[in-house]
Chains A and B, each alone.
Chain A
Amino acid sequence: MIKHLFKLIWNKKKQNFLLMTEMLVSFIVMFAIFTLLVYYYQNYNRPIGLDYDNVWNLGYGSPQGMSDADSIANFRESIKQTIISMPQVEGVSFSDANIPYGDANIGTMIAYNKVNWPSEMYTADDNYQKVLNITLNEGRWFSKIDDASREKPIVINETFKERVFGRESAVGKIMSDAAFGKGTMKVIGVMNDMKDKGDYAGPQNGYFRRMDTSNTGGGGIILIKVKPTADAAFESRLYKTLSNLMRNTSIDIKHMDKERTKRNTQLLGPIIVLLIIAGFLIINVALGLFGVLWYNINKRKNEIGLRRAVGASGAGISKQLMGEALVLSTISLLVGAFFAVQFPLLNVFNIASGTYIIAIILDILFIYFLVLVCSLYPGRQAAAIYPAEALHED
């Protein structure tokens, strides 16, 4: 039977060509959509890796009128002491602008064994781990011990560790700053990934360097872990106190949980628009497919009548027509899958192969489902054709 269907399709290849092209394009469009959905779903399921509740980000500009390192370090220390002495505060950490759910990304290259790796770069002090409740897989976080170390201490994330070192232990390894070719860095710990760019962000290489509080350049962000009881009144008091302390710069306070929600909506908005558009495209394609199949049946009443006359049952006819549609879609899917498979093979966009493969499987099932649904009714209709009536037409 399958062979017979292939023959039918082959003999009408010209008519079927465009139909197959349409299925192919639908497959490709849906491949993009499914890849996106699977990718985001998988990312959503990864652990967040940080505790954003009750963390406030206090942004400040570069402290003016202070040029020597010592006075800046003292200035920062006094700010820290002021904040930590407040009753509602549980912890304080200094960071640069690249904080979870923040507006800044800082990308850099870092080398190991002369191989360059692109990586996100974070800067944080000794208290950062506690404030955000980050967990370590290996080694330790920054501490006073590092003051004396010859190499700059760094903490890398699990994804980065796996990519660079595989199963080996990373602690103690020496890496270097690729952009300037100098400066050696020693891995002192491996942390679990944190989804700091939003709940739908994918795994990314990342490493932390230790904050130098005497650094004169730029402002930064202070992360403050507050008690759950901290309210707007307290925030207002905190703001006042710090504004008076940092007279020469503007400061602002944001709540990390709200920034996270904002990040997520920023990403979900376009995705929803995309899904709506894709949905309409699919309805469009489905209606079109349905129409074409329906028409084909009307055109082939003769043939169907003849088949009935020579002994095909109604169900048989209906099965045959659906079978034809499925064979057509199979050919399109084979071509489409050939293109789609190139994505995991060539590792495009740095997305895991598994994601692509799941997307391809879902896509194939989806297109089959679509074709089946669209050919169900025309097939039934064809089954209802009476041989006498159909043959009379000519």
Chain B
Amino acid sequence: MLKNYFKIAIAVLKRRKFFTFISLFGISFTLAIIILVATFLDYVLSAGYPDTNRNRELYVSHMQLNSSKNHSQYNGGPSFYFINRYVTTLKTPEKIAIFSNSSATNSYTNNKKKVNNLRYTNDKFWDVLQFSFTAGKPYGKQQLDNAEKVAVISEETSEAYFTDDAAAVGKYIETDNVQYRIIGVVKSLPFSSNVYADMWVPYTLTKEDLKNTGLMGGYSAILLMSSKDDLDKTREEYDQMVSKVPMQDKQFDQMFTFADSYFQSFIRSMHLAEGTNSGMGIFLSFAGIIVLLFLLLPTLNLVNLNISRIIDRSSEIGVRKAFGASSKTLVYQFVIENLILTFLGGILGVVLSFVIIQVANSSNIMPNMVLSINFNVLFVTLLACVVFGLLSGVYPAWRMSRMHVVTALKAQ
């Protein structure tokens, strides 16, 4: 039966070339956009260089302080003090990386200005994140404790100052009026990375006062567990730890901070969050509405085209009914035909988006970002194909099956 559906679907598509073109254009373009968005989100959200252990990591990057008296609310990152004094006491995580928000610093060599984004990190940062070093090595605990003026730089930074990476190691870069000795060069990161910077230096070198006991500041932590199974345990331990933290500032009486998965912390950074509500629901419903709205127009378009095609095929419907096809069978037939069309469009969409991604990658629109279509994305595409095919096929199929045999046979 399926083979027969396939045969007739292909025959219909071949005979009505113009319609096939219009339908395929709409479907493939719609799906290509879905693929591109999915690829981009997948790239940003899933584990990738250098943060390859995302499935067994939790992120501490948000701190909310509330004052119920003033009805005011402050959002920001946790302070170094909070992470160092409390978060590092957690037992479950294997390693904890600490790093500051990136701060722009200026460097002037030979009267040429360069802006270097700096992050202050601890030594574990280099264990938790899997940087690949093209030259040299990271700084260790001793260098951190001694506040040695050393730095790891990105390849891009290296290229801006030196002839090659190997030559960079041991040389000095002066930025923010400080001379840093370069001890390592790493492959550059895409700007979307959560630890993106041009230079990474020991946190002991910061000009900020690390003894400041405020809870809010510009730091983040990544908790790396030895296995995925420890994630929930760590979350529990984190929440317990938080409940015991005293509020230093009398102005505030509530504190919200969480050990989030990467996706959760990403959502939380959109400021949809409110207290214990992570904002996930709002985000997902917003995203859902946007996707639906975006799908609405191509769907309506395809529905209209399909209905026109049905009217054109009323004789076929009549004959099939006369020879024993039930309405249900006809619905199946048409829905499957439409799914076949959608999947053809899906294949074209994949090809189209592949081309676009190749062009985007090679033109380097987004620096250091190499997008690729992977299985997750293909799965989303498949799902989108099915949803799209059903959405645009079911109503016309239903209309078709309800067509009265006698009228269907008359209308030719």
Contacts and interface: CB of A to CB of B under 8 A. Distances in A.
A–B touch (CB < 8 A): the answer is yes
Interface of A: 15, 18-19, 21-22, 25-26, 29, 61, 64, 179-180, 231-233, 235-236, 239-240, 243-244, 248-254, 277, 280-281, 283-285, 287-288, 290-292, 294-296, 298-299, 394
Given A22-B297, A243-B177, A253-B106, A292 B304 contact: yes
A216 to B, nearest CB: 13
Contacts of A15: 307, 311
Contacts of B298: 281, 284
Contacts of B108: 232, 235-236, 239-240
A211 B271 CA distance: 29
A158 to B, nearest CB: 29
Given A232-B108, A244-B177, A284-B298, A277 B33 contact: yes
30 contacts: A22-B301, A25-B296, A26-B297, A29-B297, A61-B208, A231-B111, A232-B111, A232-B113, A235-B108, A235-B113, A236-B111, A236-B113, A239-B108, A243-B177, A250-B105, A251-B106, A251-B176, A252-B103, A252-B115, A277-B33, A280-B33, A284-B26, A284-B30, A285-B301, A287-B25, A287-B26, A288-B305, A295-B309, A295-B311, A298-B312
Given A21-B300, A250-B207, A280 B308 contact: no
B112 interface: yes
A296 B177 contact: no
Nearest to B112: A232
Contact of B22 (A252, A291, A394): A291
Interface of B: 18-19, 22, 25-26, 29-30, 33, 70, 72, 103-106, 108, 111-113, 115, 176-177, 207-209, 293-294, 296-298, 300-305, 307-309, 311-312, 412
B340 to A, nearest CB: 19
Given A280-B33, A285-B297, 7 more contacts: A180-B70, A240-B108, A252-B103, A277-B294, A281-B298, A288-B305, A291-B305
Nearest to B395: A18
A252 B294 CA distance: 43
A64 B307 contact: no
A231 B19 CA distance: 62
A249 B106 contact: no
Contacts of B207: 61, 64, 248-250
A29 to B, nearest CB: 6
B300 A239 contact: no
A280 B297 CA distance: 11
A154 to B, nearest CB: 21
Among B104, B300, B305, the one with the most A-chain Cβ atoms within 10 Å of its Cβ is B300
A19 B111 contact: no
B43 to A, nearest CB: 16
Nearest to B19: A291
Q: Chain B: interface secondary structure?
A: helix
B300 A296 contact: no
A22 B311 CA distance: 19
Nearest to A287: B22
A25 B209 contact: no
- Counting from the closest, the 7 A-B pairs by CB-CB distance are A243-B177, A236-B108, A288-B301, A295-B308, A22-B300, A233-B111, A287-B22
Given A277-B33, A291-B22, A18 B112 contact: no
Nearest to B116: A252
A283 B22 CA distance: 10
A64 B103 contact: no
A294 B209 CA distance: 74
Contacts of A231: 111
A320 to B, nearest CB: 19
B297 A292 contact: no
Contacts of B26: 284, 287-288
Contacts of B208: 61
A177 to B, nearest CB: 12
B304 A243 contact: no
Given A64-B209, A288-B304, A252 B104 contact: yes
Contacts of A21: 300
Nearest to A394: B412
Contacts of A284: 25-26, 29-30, 297-298, 301
B197 to A, nearest CB: 14
A236 B293 CA distance: 52
A25 B112 CA distance: 54
A365 B70 CA distance: 51
A61 B207 CA distance: 9
Contacts of A292: 304-305, 308
A139 to B, nearest CB: 31
B19 to A, nearest CB: 6
A25 B113 contact: no
Contacts of B308: 291-292, 295-296, 299
Contacts of A251: 106, 176
B160 to A, nearest CB: 15
Contacts of A249: 207
A283 B33 CA distance: 15
Contact of B312 (A19, A26, A288, A295): A295
Contacts of B303: 18
Contacts of A239: 106, 108, 177
A287 B72 CA distance: 53
A22 B304 contact: yes
Nearest to B18: A291
A299 B304 contact: no
Contacts of B312: 295, 298-299
Contacts of A280: 29, 33
Contacts of A253: 106
Nearest to A281: B297
B272 to A, nearest CB: 17
A133 B381 CA distance: 54
Contact of A299 (B22, B112, B311): B311
Nearest to B109: A236
Contacts of B304: 18-19, 22, 288, 292
B176 A243 contact: yes
Contact of A250 (B30, B33, B176, B412): B176
